[in-house]
Amino acid sequence: MRGDNMPKKSKKDNTPTKPSLDDKTHIPFAGEVVDQKIVDTLEINYMPYAMSVIMSRAIPEIDGFKPSHRKILYTMYKMGLLTGARAKSAKIVGQVMQLNPHGDAAIYDTMVRLSRGYGALLHPFVDSKGNFGKAYSRDMMWAASRYTEAKLEKICSELFNDIDKNTVDMVDNFDNTMKEPRLLPVTFPTVLVNLNNGIAVGMASSICSFNLEEVCRTAIELIKNPDFDVMETLKAPDFSGGGLLLYNREQMKEIYDTGRGGFKVRSRWRYDKANGCIEVTEIPPTSTSEAIIDKIIDKIKAGSVKEISDIRDETDLSGLKITMDLKRGTDPEKLMKKLYSSTPLQDTFSCNFNVLVNGCPKVMGVKELLNEWIEFRRGCIRRRTEFDLKRAKDRLHLLRGLEKILLDIDKAISIIRNTEEEAEVVPNLMIGFGIDKIQAEFVAEIKLRHLNKEYILKRLQDIEKLVKVIEDLEDILSKPKRVNRIIIFELEEVIKKYPSERKTEILYDAVDDTSGYEKEPVPSYPVTLFFTKEGYFKKITPQSLRMSSAQKLKEGDTVLQTIETTNNVDLLFFTNKCQVYKARANDFEDTKASSIGDFISAKLSMDSGEAPVYLAVTSDYSGYMFFMFENGKGAKITMSSYETTTNRKKLIKAYSSKATLNCVVQLESDRDLVIVSSNAKNLLLNTALIEPKSTRDSQGVGIMKLKKGQYIAEVKEYKDGMFAKPYKYRTKNLPAAGSILTPEDRGEQMLLFSGEE
């Protein structure tokens, strides 16, 4: 019942109401402007799209394939292209469209990248004929699908082995007219054998390729021993384009353990002394020949590379070749080191082993990824065994019925002959021999020519064989060790059938010796750095500050540090996760006071939940870092401990994680600090009393004595006049208890703080 104070709605009032959030698949009043909260828009409109991209397009699953790859390969398999002759690519694309409702261009592009001709995969899945382009070329386009032909490579037999035995789930295609596999029952870990990249919404995947034999050997050892160290057999990534991998054990271990990290790959080259030229024949997987040539030409025009008189692309049917003619007297070794440091002739491959496992994206290390694949393969073996077991039992059931008939064939013939109606033959056989309907149907269909001694003996022998087969299959299902042995046997067979030598050479204990060559000069000019509590960073020139010094900040944010320095210093951002991220001031754009600045956690790709807490600035890594912990301990670490020979962006164990951090201070030289405890005691400490350590995560030494329940509340720099009698709070021996402020110092402190405000 409407109250008197409620406005009455006109019958002609067709104003749309706010759409209901109950219906997630349809928005009422589509096309009309309605009031809607942004969070509702994201939930209803954006989230389904994001999840579709993540699960149905960009991220590979545990079988190593994205849906687009799987649809193409399965269609080619059903077309008989595993053993038959090649078919026109256009025909294949047309058939794939029954499973993949995308355009023919997108399907063909995906098929090209799976092909041997394109050369992107270490073990291609498509045997191609015609121009399929090249992975190392940006401009070399592949021919149209009507001109090329393709079939499946022999190794694809390992992808579809026993797929018709219920090894994987079959699901409907987009219009429910066909079935397709949700995953492929791969007999080896394809997820690590071939290169795979994808960019989804809010996440990405980048999986480098590894040598087939090394991956299979590692999987075998993991099945035998779950605690096996994968680095013993899985040496390093291997790429179809070859190249030289700079092996750093610490970096590789981080990739193997976490699934994240990067490593450098440089080009392979040779010097033709007779013609005075360098020939580059292999390049990193992240580079292209055109990008390399363009960058070198830019260097030549800028005058930073003067040793090259000409550069050209001499790639032909024999493979990639970039030729550089050198001027007389040029040292090719020094030139290549210079080019490695400043061109894509050396590049970093960034890893992000993000894989869909049971529909959920998950970043995993190599061991975890292989264990997930092993578990997936165990499931395939069990399902195949259950399928074979059911068929064997069904067959045995039929033969058991036949066995009863064969013991008295004359009786069976008599029953059939004396049955007046055909429909009564099966019921009469069931009654006469005590068999069920399925067995009776089978007996009734036996041809007259088979009622002989030879046929009878063979069927009886089949019964004996089937009994043994069933016992063996049931034994497999009851013993996980037998399942493991089957997987190991299949992996060993893959190694035998598809021998694979490494293409990428590993340079063990290699040091990136290009750091001393041809670095772009960093302009040096004065700047002021601002670092805020919320983790924002700004770099502002003095001229810009003179125009406007009022800093724009996020609501509730405050400036923690203001540092006057130059544009070519190193920046060390210490975080709440005991890590430090390194950057250069030159990496950040000059900005204005009216800008909110760069959000450091995103800019430096920090881990989830990680935030910067302190900024240190250095140009020569002299001085110290002082860390004060709430338990009264402090550590003075030499700045040189954070200096690295390689251009590493993140250092773990930047400080001790044994206690909660209270304060970080950069010390160019030793100075006085005031340490205040939670019970209001003050200690005047000169940092010279603390012995410096080179171990970054040192727990430090006891500085302030604390009773149970007490902690360090504050650390601040001592300023002249802060205490009337400083000696009352100073100590020469550590740890010390500190002293309560005297009445006169409490007054001085109040005056000092009020003056600062």
Please give the average per-residue pLDDT across 641-646, as a whole number: 83
Q: What is the pLDDT of residues 39-65, one digit of tens each?
A: 877 777 777 777 777 766 789 999 999
* 3-class secondary-structure state, position 204: strand
> What was the pLDDT predicted at 1?
39
Structure confidence at residue 748 as a pLDDT band (50, 70, 90) = low
Least reliable range by pLDDT among 286-295, 362-371, 742-751: 742-751
Q: What is the pLDDT of residues 446-473, one digit of tens each?
A: 887 777 778 777 878 889 899 999 999 9
Inform me whether the pLDDT recorded for 649 exceeds 90: no
> What was the pLDDT predicted at 174?
86
Inform me whether the pLDDT recorded for 69 exceeds 90: yes
The C-alpha atoms of residue 413 and residue 435 are separated, in whole angstroms, by 16
> What was the pLDDT predicted at 459?
79
- Per DSSP, helices labelled H in 343-424 are 366-406, 409-418
Structural fold of domain 65-185: Topoisomerase II; domain 5 (3.90.199)
The C-alpha atoms of residue 386 and residue 389 are separated, in whole angstroms, by 5
The C-alpha atoms of residue 218 and residue 490 are separated, in whole angstroms, by 14
Q: What is the pLDDT of residues 467-509, one digit of tens each?
A: 999 999 999 999 999 999 999 999 999 999 999 899 999 998 6
| Residue ranges, CATH 3.90.199.10, the chain | 65-185
Structure confidence at residue 745 as a pLDDT band (50, 70, 90) = confident
Please give the average per-residue pLDDT across 322-333, as a whole number: 93
> What was the pLDDT predicted at 521?
61
Structure confidence at residue 304 as a pLDDT band (50, 70, 90) = confident
Structure confidence at residue 524 as a pLDDT band (50, 70, 90) = confident
| Mean per-residue pLDDT over the chain, rounded | 88
Given a contact cutoff of 8 angstroms between Cβ atoms, the answer to whether 195 and 460 are in contact is no
Structure confidence at residue 742 as a pLDDT band (50, 70, 90) = confident
Catalytic residue among 49, 77, 108, 147: 147
Q: By percentage, how much of the chain surpasses pLDDT 70?
A: 92
Q: How far is CA 646 from CA 300, 326, 570, 598, 620, in A?
A: 26, 29, 14, 25, 15
- Phi and psi dihedrals of 516, rounded to 5? -90, 5
Least reliable range by pLDDT among 22-31, 138-147, 324-333: 22-31
> What was the pLDDT predicted at 10?
45
Q: Is 147 a catalytic residue?
A: yes
Q: DSSP per residue over 555-579, as a string? A: TT--EEEEEEEETT-EEEEEETTS-
Structure confidence at residue 11 as a pLDDT band (50, 70, 90) = very low
- Phi and psi dihedrals of 751, rounded to 5? -65, -40
Inform me whether the pLDDT recorded for 756 exceeds 80: no
Structure confidence at residue 512 as a pLDDT band (50, 70, 90) = low
Contacts of residue 177, Cβ cutoff 8 Å, sequence gap at least 6: 98
> What was the pLDDT predicted at 757?
36
- Number of neighbouring beta carbons within 10 Å of residue 474: 14
Structure tokens at 671: 């100075």
* 3-class secondary-structure state, position 198: strand
Identify the CATH class of 268-344. Answer: alpha beta
> What was the pLDDT predicted at 582?
92
Structure confidence at residue 5 as a pLDDT band (50, 70, 90) = very low
Inform me whether the pLDDT recorded for 601 exceeds 80: yes
> What was the pLDDT predicted at 452?
75
> What was the pLDDT predicted at 34?
72
CATH homologous superfamily for the domain 381-493: Topoisomerase, domain 3 (1.10.268.10)
Least reliable range by pLDDT among 108-122, 327-341, 642-656: 642-656
> Closest Cα partner for 525 from 573, 572, 590?
590
The C-alpha atoms of residue 373 and residue 355 are separated, in whole angstroms, by 11
| Residue ranges, CATH 1.10.268.10, the chain | 381-493
Q: Looking up tokens 């292999």, which residue turns up? A: 282
* 3-class secondary-structure state, position 346: strand
The C-alpha atoms of residue 92 and residue 515 are separated, in whole angstroms, by 50
Which of 160-168's residues contact partners 24+ apart within 8 Å by CB, and which partners?
160/74, 160/77, 160/82, 160/184, 160/185, 161/185, 161/187, 162/380, 162/384, 163/77, 165/383, 165/384, 165/387, 165/388, 166/383, 166/384, 166/386, 166/387, 167/380, 167/383, 167/384, 167/387, 168/380, 168/383
> What was the pLDDT predicted at 137?
92
Structure tokens at 543: 């001229």
Q: What is the pLDDT of residues 202-236, one digit of tens each?
A: 788 999 999 999 999 999 999 999 999 999 999 99
* 3-class secondary-structure state, position 140: coil
Give the number of C-alpha atoms closer than 13 A to the C-alpha of residue 40, restricted to the C-beta side: 12
> What was the pLDDT predicted at 48?
78
Burial annotation 240-265 (CB, 10 A radius, 16+ → b, else e):
bbbbbbbbbeebbebbbbbbbbbbbb
Least reliable range by pLDDT among 143-152, 302-311, 380-389, 572-581: 302-311
Least reliable range by pLDDT among 223-227, 520-524, 703-707: 520-524
Inform me whether the pLDDT recorded for 550 exceeds 90: no
The C-alpha atoms of residue 288 and residue 52 are separated, in whole angstroms, by 31
| Residue ranges, CATH 3.30.1360.40, the chain | 268-344
